[in-house]
């Protein structure tokens, strides 16, 4: 995998940003050394301001309607041993006053089908990286993005779905964390407990 960078000029800071990822495979060995051939290329687009700032907007924070310079400037592994393929996250950061936001994209590389694809754009106002967590103890772990602002929790979870014989069939699907699995009076009590806890009535919620 070869990241392709572009450098802005003139520029004083954060001048380098990602514009593409290129995937190469081994071709042959020659007296001059190993040769590789291009397999796939993924063009990197800056995320939309509405996506990056949506957690702040949901929390009632006043945000600009448009932003310039939301580039992706870093690349790091996002692997988990139980997952198929190779996972990366590309990232960038933005700040409004004392409120920093970490944002990025999740990229999946399928070494079997020899392709790469961006599956998710994420944003975290408290600057936490996405993490794999096995929420239901079934199948593959889920990807959790912490979008909390202040004390009110706001977690987004995504489950891995698809696969098969096409890299485009692989996708991350949002999970509804508030949907209960109870029925009847138990479900009503559960929903009331959530309501009381969200309003700070901890003892009543516990009961």
pLDDT by 10-residue block (mean), the chain, 207 residues: 89 84 93 93 92 87 76 91 90 83 94 90 93 89 92 89 77 84 85 90 93
pLDDT for 153 equals: 84
pLDDT per residue as tens digits for the range 46-59: 898 888 988 888 88
pLDDT for 108 equals: 94
Q: Are 130 and 72 in contact (CB under 8 A)?
A: no
pLDDT for 178 equals: 72
From 120, 124, 178, 121, select the one nearest 146 (Cα to Cα).
124
Query: What is the pTM (predicted TM-score) of this model?
Result: 0.83
pLDDT per residue as tens digits for the range 144-186: 999 998 887 899 999 998 776 777 788 999 998 877 677 889 8
pLDDT for 180 equals: 67
Distance of CA 141 to the CA centre of its chain: 14
Q: Are 134 and 128 in contact (CB under 8 A)?
A: no
pLDDT for 151 equals: 80
């Amino acid at each position: 995998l070869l990241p392709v960078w572009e450098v802005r000029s003139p520029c004083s800071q954060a001048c380098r940003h990602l514009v593409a990822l290129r995937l190469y495979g081994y071709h042959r060995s020659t007296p001059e050394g190993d040769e590789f051939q291009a397999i796939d290329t993924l063009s990197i687009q800056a995320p939309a301001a509405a996506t990056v700032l949506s957690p702040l907007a949901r929390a009632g924070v006043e945000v600009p309607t448009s932003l310039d310079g939301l580039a992706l400037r870093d690349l790091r592994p996002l692997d988990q041993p139980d997952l198929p393929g190779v996972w990366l996250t590309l990232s960038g950061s933005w700040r409004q006053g004392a409120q920093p936001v970490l944002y990025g994209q999740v990229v999946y590389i399928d070494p079997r089908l020899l392709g790469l694809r961006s599956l998710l754009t994420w944003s975290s106002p408290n600057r936490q990286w996405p993490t794999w967590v096995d929420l239901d103890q079934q199948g593959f772990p889920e990807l959790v993005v912490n979008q909390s602002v202040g004390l009110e929790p706001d977690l987004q979870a995504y489950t891995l779905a698809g696969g098969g014989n096409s890299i485009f069939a692989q996708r991350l699907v949002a999970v509804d964390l508030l949907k209960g699995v109870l029925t009847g009076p138990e479900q009503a009590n559960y929903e009331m407990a959530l309501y009381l806890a969200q309003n700070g009535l901890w003892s009543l919620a516990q009961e």
